[in-house]
Copies of this chain bind each other. A is one copy, B any other.
Amino acid sequence: MNSIKVAVIGTGYIGVVHLEMLRRIPDVEITAVADTNETLARKAAEKLKIPRVFPTVDKLLADGDVDVVHNCAPNNVHFDINVAAIQAGKEVLSEKPLSLNSEESSRLLALAAKHGTLTGIDFCYRYFPVVQEAAARVRRGDLGEVRAFAGHFLQDWLFFDTDYSWRLDPAVAGAANVVADLGSHWCDLVQFITGRKIVEVMAELHTCIPRRRRPLGGSLSFASGKAASSEEVEVKLDDYASLFLRLDNGARGNFTTCQVAAGRKVDIELQVFGSKESYAWSHVSPNALWVGHREKANEVFYESPALQTEGTRKYAALPTGHPMGYHDAMYNLFRDYYEALGAKRAGRPYETTFPDFRTGHEMMCVIDAAVASHQSRTWTKVGPS
C-alpha cells in the first residue's frame, strides 16, 4: 500500500513532538509543514528532512498530496483550521481544544460527519498502558459500579507573576484557562476509564495571581515577563479551578487544577472508587496502576505485554519493567489512529478506539458548563453532546 502522506500545521513544541512520533509510525510519510513563523517551520523541515514548507495553512491544504493534517496551531485558530482541513478533504488529527466553545465544536462534529472525515484529538494521557488497562478492567466488570472519583492536575509553570502565556488572554484562549487546558485532559480520563459521561458540574474558577508582567512583543506558550520590556496586565482567566462532577449513573467526583502549585510539574492523579475495587493512577509514576481492596492487600500493577488485559497489551510494547514515557503515549494514540485510517483507506471495517472530535466536543461541553457554573455559582448541566 502507498504511504499515508501527513502534514503538520504548527511547528512549536507540540508540533515537533508530533513530527518525531509520526516518524515512528510505519506507512506514514511526512510531506509538509506550515507555520506562521516560517523560520521555525523551515528549521523543523530541514532537521527532519521534510520536503515541503508552506507559508500559509491555505497553501498547505491546497496540496493534493496531503492526506492527513495534524493541527498543532495555537488554540484560537484550531477551529478555523479544522473546518478548512475537513472542507479540503483531509483527515484531521487536532490538538485540543477543538475550538473555543461547544457551539463551534458541535458544528465541527456535523461537518466531519458530512465529509466522512476520520477525526482524532490529542488526549494522549489515556494512552499510557495502565490507563488503558484500567479502562479495560472497568469494561470487564472488575471495578463494579463506579461510585466516586477524585483527583487533580497540578502544574507550576505560571507560578511567578513574571510568567505569562497567551493562555491567560481571553482573546486568544477563550473563556477559561486552566480548567479548559488541564481540566479537559482530566475529564477525558474520567470518561475514558469509567465509560460514563459527565452530566452535571459545579465549578469554582479563581485567579491566584491577578496581576502579571506580560513581555512586550509576542506571547509564546512558555514566556517570561522578567525581561525589561514587559508591562503589568490584569489577568482575568483562571489559574486555579475546582469542579464537582456528576456522571450519568449518579457517581460523584471532585477535581482540582492549578498552575501555580510550586514543585508540581505535570502532576495528574485520578482515583476511581467502584463497588468492587478501586483504581488510582498518577502521571508522576505513570507505569503503575494502583488497585485497592478492602479485604486483601492492595496491588500495584505495572505495565506489561505479558500481564495486561488482552486488548491492551499492544500499548505496553516493551518487555515488562522497561518504562514507557510520554512520547510512547502519543505514539500509541497515533498508531491507533493510523491503523483505523489504514483500514478506512483499504475499505476494511475499523473501530475508532481513539479520542475523536466527538470526544473533543464532549469536553468542550463540560468546560462550557464549568464556566457557566462558576459565573452563576450554581450546579449546571452539561449541554447536549
Query: Does A40 touch B at the CB level, under 8 Å?
Result: no
**CB pair B328 A263 closer than 8 Å:** no
Complex: how many Å from CA A300 to CA B276? 18
8 Å CB contact of A318 from B17, B150, B208, B304: B17
Complex: how many Å from CA A158 to CA B3? 41
Chain A 7-41, CB-CB to B under 8 Å as 1, else 0, gives 00000010001001001101100000000000000
Would you give the shortest CB distance from A312 to chain B, in whole angstroms? 14
Query: Does A319 touch B at the CB level, under 8 Å?
Result: yes
8 Å CB contact of A307 from B285, B286, B297: B297
Q: Does more than half of chain A's interface fall in helix, strand or loop, or is it mixed?
A: loop
Residues of B within 8 A of A274 (CB): 262
Chain A 144-186, CB-CB to B under 8 Å as 1, else 0, gives 0001101010111101100000000000000000000000000
Chain A 276-313, CB-CB to B under 8 Å as 1, else 0, gives 11100001011000111111111111101001000000
Query: Does A271 touch B at the CB level, under 8 Å?
Result: yes
**CB pair B13 A26 closer than 8 Å:** no
Complex: how many Å from CA A294 to CA B292? 19
Would you give the shortest CB distance from A174 to chain B, in whole angstroms? 21
Complex: how many Å from CA A254 to CA B260? 15
Residues of B within 8 A of A297 (CB): 291, 299-302, 307
Give how many copies assemble into the complex: 4
**CB pair A26 B3 closer than 8 Å:** no
**CB pair A319 B13 closer than 8 Å:** yes
Task: Return 27 A-B CB contacts under 8 Å, by A number.
Answer: A147-B208, A147-B209, A148-B240, A148-B261, A150-B242, A150-B256, A157-B319, A202-B204, A254-B254, A258-B273, A261-B271, A261-B273, A262-B293, A263-B278, A263-B292, A265-B304, A266-B322, A283-B321, A283-B323, A296-B307, A297-B301, A298-B299, A299-B299, A322-B326, A324-B326, A324-B327, A325-B326
Given contacts A23-B24, A240-B252, A265-B320, 6 further A-B pairs with CB under 8 A are: A26-B48, A154-B271, A156-B278, A156-B292, A264-B321, A324-B325
Which 7 residue pairs are nearest across A and B when measured between Cβ atoms?
A: A263-B292, A265-B321, A325-B325, A266-B321, A322-B326, A297-B299, A297-B301
- Chain A residues engaging chain B, CB cutoff 8 angstroms: 3, 13, 17, 20, 23-24, 26-27, 47-49, 147-148, 150, 152, 154-157, 159-160, 202, 204, 206, 208-209, 222, 240, 242, 244, 252, 254-256, 258, 260-267, 271, 273-274, 276-278, 283, 285-286, 290-302, 304, 307, 318-328, 377-379
